[in-house]
Amino acid sequence: MRKVIHFLKRVFCPAGSCQDQGYDNSSGQPRVVARSQHNLSRQNISSNCRKVLHHLHAGGYQAFLVGGSVRDLLLGHEPKDFDVATDATPEQVRKLFRNCRLIGRRFRLAHVFFKNEIIEVATFRANENDKRTVSKDGLVIRDNMYGTVEDDVLRRDFTINALLYDIKKFSIVDYVNGLEDLNHGLLRLIGDPATRYREDPVRILRAIRFAAKLGFRIEEHTAAPIKSSAVLLRQIASARLFEEVNKLFLSGYSANVFSLLLQYDLFGLLFPATQECLTDPMIHLMVDNFLQVTFSATDERVQLGQSVSIVFLLAAILWPPRQERVIRYEAEGCSEQEAKERASLETLSEEVDIIEIPRKMHHQIDEIWNAQRYLEDRRGKRPFRMVNHPRFRAGYDFLLLRAQADPDLEPLAQWWQAFYEADHEQRLDLIQKLQRQKQKGPRRKPRAVPAQQD
């Protein structure tokens, strides 16, 4: 990352052309960086997006590549998707593209569909606060006013996400000093941070996500209101928070996300029961170690191009409070099965009130938890039944994570790894060896036999 930032500084700030205070655009005129002075090539933009941009221009409209795709291309990353902003209204966009569908209520968007890609086209938004529908707490509810390209830029969240690429002139257009912040590795909100967080509290989580993803520092004024504004996240619909949790933890930098969430006192707002375990002096080190192992393993899978599952990750995040409750219920006299059922139901029910975990996932999470008990019971033919269970692999992977955090579980994890990789005869041999080990133990002292009487 440092090499990338150093490269960008050389490209955008040649020999004294940029001041430490940032590029001065107080005149209202954007900074325009010609093709010879930046590294963004149109060849790295998807062909479908280029078609949309050119077709909008041919129709007489303004159109720019916008958002995270410009940022990522400048950093040398491959964008996840490509977004377009234009002065054409959604209805005008639909007339230009037969493969177009309009979506959204708070703000209307056009989706242009291609075989393997969707290009999102948004009309420039106005920056007129008096024409927005806002709740009593400052949350924007409806915002369908259209404006100019400058209005639209000023309405975006972070400066590094407000850069424009003009495909007609192959230039970068910067109204908000986004290039300076990109050069310095800074994440800065556009406008007053406290106000912007009130307008949409999810921006707090977006700040965490981008800082974790890019390795950027959150600018001090942007960071200052985060802790005091965090309670605003309770206004957000639980379904939307579930989507944000997916983005936070399944994009390949969940370990960094976890660290930042703890730093800004946000983790407890999303997972209060797990946060209680993290603050328990008796178990906090063990819980923290387990979560660190989980997030690191998740990030490694993403980097290797392997699949990751929010079900598996939620099972891990909620495992500590579930286990703490199992122990408590058993101490109160519940049977093992009853304690686990009550603990699972209570843990999931409480979390659903915060993030809307879909109902079908409840059963899947519970299956992963229950699999741990079955993996510990290796009598008779149980291992053969378990290894053929649909949830075996998830339960087995979960056990491996637990073993990384708890050395006492390593022998069990090693046995299952050997059993999983063995053929049928080898599996029989493993079970027989296990049975012989259990049969061994301290030899009983022979019972004394009374002497026979004559």
Q: Give the chain's residues under pLDDT 70.
A: 1-28, 128-144, 440-454
Provide the sign of the torsion angle of the four alpha carbons 7, 9, 13, 16, taken in this order: negative
Decide if domain 2-184 falls under CATH 3.90.79.10. Answer: no
Q: Which amino acid is at 115?
A: K
Q: Is 252 left (phi over 0), alpha (psi -120 to 50) or beta?
A: left
**Active-site residue 83, yes or no?**
yes
Pair of tokens at residue 305: 């191009």
The per-residue pLDDT for 29 is 85
Tell me the three state secondary structure of residue 172: strand
- State the Cα–Cα distance between residues 13 and 33, nearest whole angstrom: 11
Confidence (pLDDT) at 450: 41
Q: Which residue has the tokens 């493969």?
A: 99
Q: Is 265 a catalytic residue?
A: no
Q: What are the angstrom distances between the C-alpha of 280 and each of 256, 276, 318?
A: 22, 6, 15
Report the distance separating Cα 207 and Cα 193, nearest Å: 11
Strands (E), 308-416: none
Compute CA distances 10 → 100, 151, 378, whole Å: 41, 30, 62
Same fold, 2-184 and 267-436: no
**pLDDT score at 391:** 85
- CB neighbour list of residue 48: distance below 8 Å, 6 or more residues apart: 82, 112, 114, 117, 119
How do residues 149-194 score in pLDDT, each as one tens digit?
999 999 999 999 999 999 999 999 999 999 999 999 999 999 999 9
Question: Order of strands, edge to edge, in the sheet holding 171-174?
Answer: 31-33, 171-174, 164-166, 63-66, 83-86, 118-123, 109-113, 100-103
Classify domain 267-436 at the CATH topology level: cca-adding enzyme, domain 2 (1.10.3090)
In what helix (H) or strand (E) does residue 317 lie, and over which residues does it extend? helix 310-331
Chain position carrying tokens 């967080």? 197
Between CA 129 and CA 135, with CA 130 as vertex, the angle to 5 degrees is: 80
- Counting every residue, how long is the chain? 454
**Which candidate in 72, 83, 143, 174 is catalytic?**
83
Write down the domain spans for the chain: 2-184, 267-436
**Distance from the Cα of residue 63 to its chain's centroid:** 30
User: What is the phi/psi pair of residue 143, to 5°?
Assistant: -155, 75
What per-residue confidence (pLDDT) applies to 107?
A: 79
> Over the Cα atoms of the chain, what is R_g?
28
pLDDT, residue 14, reads 36
Q: What's the pLDDT at 436?
A: 85
Residue 159 DSSP label: G
Q: What's the gap between Cα 181 and its chain centre?
A: 23
Instruction: Give the pairing of strands 118-123 and 109-113.
Output: antiparallel
Reduced to 3 states (helix: H, G, I; strand: E, B; else coil), residue 12 is helix
State the pLDDT at residue 28: 67
Hey, what are 3's tokens? 């090499």
Structure tokens at 243: 């989507």
Catalytic hit among 81, 166, 280, 288: 81
Active-site position among 143, 152, 157, 181: 157
Say if residue 135 is exposed, middle or buried (CB neighbours under 10 Å; 0-12, 13-18, 19+).
exposed
Distance CA 137, CA 237 (A): 15
